[in-house]
Amino acid sequence: MCGIVGYIGSQEAQSILLDGLSKLEYRGYDSAGLAIYNGENIGFCKSQGRLADLKQKLETCLLPGNLGIGHTRWATHGKPSDENAHPHTDEQKMFAVVHNGIIENYAELKEELIAKGHVFTSETDTEVIAKLLSDHWDGSLVSTVQKVVQELRGAYALGIISEYEPDKLVAVRLASPLVIGVGKGENMIASDIPAILKYTRDVYLLDDGDMAVLTPDHVQLMRVDGTPIERETIQITWDVKQAEKDGYDHFMLKEINEQPRAIRDTLAGRIKKGRVDLSNELSISKEDLKNFERIHFVACGTAYHAGMIGKYVLEKLVRIPVEVDVASEYRYREPIVNERTLFVAISQSGETADTLAALKEAKRQGARILAITNVVGSSVAREADEVIITWAGPEIAVASTKAYTSQLIAVYLLGIYFAQMLETQSEQQLQTWVEELLQLPDKAASLLQPEQVEKVESYAREMSKHSSLFFIGRGLDYAVALEGSLKLKEISYIHSEAYAAGELKHGTLALIEEDVPVIALSTQKVLAEKTVSNVQEVKARGAYVLGVTNEADAELSKTADELISIPATLDLFAPVLAVIPLQLFAYYACLQRGFDVDKPRNLAKSVTVE
């Protein structure tokens, strides 16, 4: 979850590193630091807190030089502090290291190094790497790094510089993202593409076990055992403005408003002559589909909620049993997986550690792997047999919005495509679904008009005064309720829970008392009467109810205190529209309470450790 930037070239490294780190702030961090070679030695500047704190220190601690590494840390070993901030070094300060990930065997390595006389000044696992570099120095930075990584167990992306060879920047990747930016007379490393997009659009994406040696004029790729690698650069086509706020107060608000475009882009080129066509992306045949006995959707957080909707969609449309699992639990329940299992991994970043680990376990047991991700060339995408890219564009805010709705669109496309192949639905029904899919961008845009947004903002202003809030819904609405609750709690810190409305009488009603806010979703026609009955149950106990329903359904308005209407759509696609006012509700509740929308406490954008 940490952010890494490295630079080697002819320009002053400090400003470039700071600029790159600022583009990685969305990943979440508690401290930051730089190490820059000034022509004689490596200078360091580190600070607990935000990047602004580091910049303030640098006003009296300038670090000149053309070779350097920078880091934003999200604590895994040791509290946030100046001492625990990266980069880390050996006792003589001949090496500097930045690290993203976790070294699982750091404790035993640390004991061995202490026995040899090494002195540690931090609580981190990363300092072990710096001390190992010093301990194993053999006169070559490349071979020394290769020796060190052979001793490491765990996940890591590393950026390393040394006074011994100040013409090199070395990078290594294992189970933690790292990209190489290729420029003219300068080269860079970073945890994510936005950090280097200002300087180059040509990148190498490192695979697990890859190593890169950068000089100002050359990038040499190899495996950690020294085997050379030949690989083409990838050109990034993102508009730079996509990674900036573009006039909005916060990235989250910008990304909420980008959803009509993201939905349209994810649909683009995948509907031809009234049918879904994924044949250019997926190699799954009709015979393959008939062979699958089960489908597993596996993901974390918001992506898990997309998987819940995926279960409903594929079982309804394709008639194959579907299970949905939280990725962090998947491996430990000994799931029944074999070559007749289709494993669908959903991950915005494509680097989510738990999802990637679950994917690898399913693959080991013979499952066919399909990935739904927003990042081309990500770890999940590379490990998968099949990939559907969601074209949401870079998502910066920690709270996912446009990535989630794009995942839903990908799930719908997958379900309809499979149904076409297996002929499990009538052509008329399939055509109706496709036609409605194409209308979703405009319907989503209607929910972002000023009068609609102002209405949601007013509800959020009032309901955010409460310390606890509940969401209820049935069927697909239950999955949306879970996502709405997650959005609210992760950025506003209001205690929020979501329940299947039919479960209220089985214990949850005990929590309902006078004036407790309840957000009730009712967009599924077949369940509307049941949901209204559940709303009446909470109303009878004094709850204040805000309803979210299809504009064609007036039943909930007779019971709820206030109502948010979404455009009329087919029940199947209501989650795409119903979640948008809930995202806005969370956003404005957060603002009302005075918290940082884009950087909620204790959270990070890309969860690359278990």
Tens digits of residue pLDDT in 92-112 = 999 999 999 889 899 999 999
Q: Evaluate if pTM is beyond 0.85.
A: no
Output the pLDDT for position 483. Answer: 98
Would the pLDDT of 364 be above 90? yes
Asked about 2 being catalytic, the answer comes back as yes
Q: Given pLDDT bands bounded at 50, 70 and 90, which one contains residue 373? A: very high
CB 106 within 8 A of CB 77: yes
Determine the average pLDDT of the residues in 554-576.
90
Determine the average pLDDT of the residues in 331-358.
93
- 253 or 531: which leads in pLDDT: 253
Tokens of 596: 């940082």
Output the pLDDT for position 120. Answer: 97
Would the pLDDT of 122 be above 70? yes
Beta-strand pair 495-500/468-473: parallel
Q: Catalytic one among 2, 45, 300, 590?
A: 2
Output the pLDDT for position 513. Answer: 81
Q: What is the pLDDT of residues 163-185, one digit of tens each?
A: 999 999 999 998 788 999 999 99
Tokens of 253: 């608000």
Mean pLDDT, all residues of the chain: 92
Q: Is 338 exposed, middle or buried (0-12, 13-18, 19+ CB in 10 A)?
A: exposed
Closest CA to 544 of 569, 532, 561, 556: 561
Report in angstroms the alpha-carbon separations of 493 from 457, 486, 489, 543, 594.
17, 10, 5, 21, 11
Report in angstroms the alpha-carbon separations of 447 from 306, 450, 456, 481.
20, 9, 10, 18
Residue 300 is classified by DSSP as -
> Helices in 319-448 by DSSP H: which ranges?
327-330, 353-364, 379-383, 402-422, 427-446
Closest CA to 146 of 213, 93, 99, 86: 213
Would the pLDDT of 378 be above 90? no
Would the pLDDT of 129 be above 60? yes
CATH homologous superfamily of 3-237: Aminohydrolase, N-terminal nucleophile (Ntn) domain (3.60.20.10)
Alpha-carbon distance of 464 to 273, in angstroms, equals 47
Q: Residue 409 in 3-state DSSP? A: helix
End-to-end CA distance of the chain: give it in Å, rounded: 11
Output the pLDDT for position 67. Answer: 98
Alpha-carbon distance of 160 to 535, in angstroms, equals 59
CA angle 520, 303, 264 (to 5 degrees): 85
Beta-strand pair 322-326/294-299: parallel
Q: Catalytic one among 487, 489, 599, 605?
A: 605
Output the pLDDT for position 180. Answer: 97
Output the pLDDT for position 508. Answer: 77
Q: What is the pLDDT of residues 185-227, one digit of tens each?
A: 999 999 988 899 999 999 999 998 999 999 999 999 999 999 9
Output the pLDDT for position 515. Answer: 81
Output the pLDDT for position 256. Answer: 96
Q: Is 245 exposed, middle or buried (0-12, 13-18, 19+ CB in 10 A)?
A: middle
Query: In CATH terms, are 244-446 and 450-593 the same topology?
Result: yes
Determine the average pLDDT of the residues in 518-543.
88
Output the pLDDT for position 155. Answer: 81
List phi, psi (to 5°) of 502. Answer: -70, -10
Alpha-carbon distance of 63 to 70, in angstroms, equals 12
CB 453 within 8 A of CB 256: no
CB 311 within 8 A of CB 324: yes
What fold is seen in the domain 450-593?
Rossmann fold (3.40.50)
Q: Given pLDDT bands bounded at 50, 70 and 90, which one contains residue 26? A: low
Residue type, 363: K
Domain boundaries, the chain: 3-237, 244-446, 450-593
List phi, psi (to 5°) of 81. Answer: -165, 165
Alpha-carbon distance of 385 to 288, in angstroms, equals 13
Would the pLDDT of 427 be above 70? yes
Alpha-carbon distance of 499 to 485, in angstroms, equals 10
Asked about 45 being catalytic, the answer comes back as no
Q: What is the pLDDT of residues 447-501, one digit of tens each?
A: 999 999 999 999 999 999 998 999 999 999 999 999 999 999 999 999 999 998 8
Return the percentage of the chain with pLDDT > 90, whole number: 75
**Mean pLDDT lowest among 25-34, 141-150, 242-251, 336-345:** 242-251
Alpha-carbon distance of 462 to 449, in angstroms, equals 21
Closest CA to 387 of 368, 360, 408: 368
Hey, which bits of 289-376 come out as E strands?
294-299, 322-326, 341-347, 368-373
Tell me which residue has tokens 């006074």. 163
Alpha-carbon distance of 35 to 38, in angstroms, equals 10
Tokens of 230: 């030949």
What fold is seen in the domain 244-446?
Rossmann fold (3.40.50)
Would the pLDDT of 1 be above 90? no
Output the pLDDT for position 79. Answer: 81
Output the pLDDT for position 510. Answer: 74
Tokens of 564: 């948010």
Question: Which residues contact residue 183 at a Cβ distance below 8 angstroms, ignoring those fewer than 6 apart?
Answer: 9, 199, 200, 202
Output the pLDDT for position 246. Answer: 67
Residue 449 is classified by DSSP as S
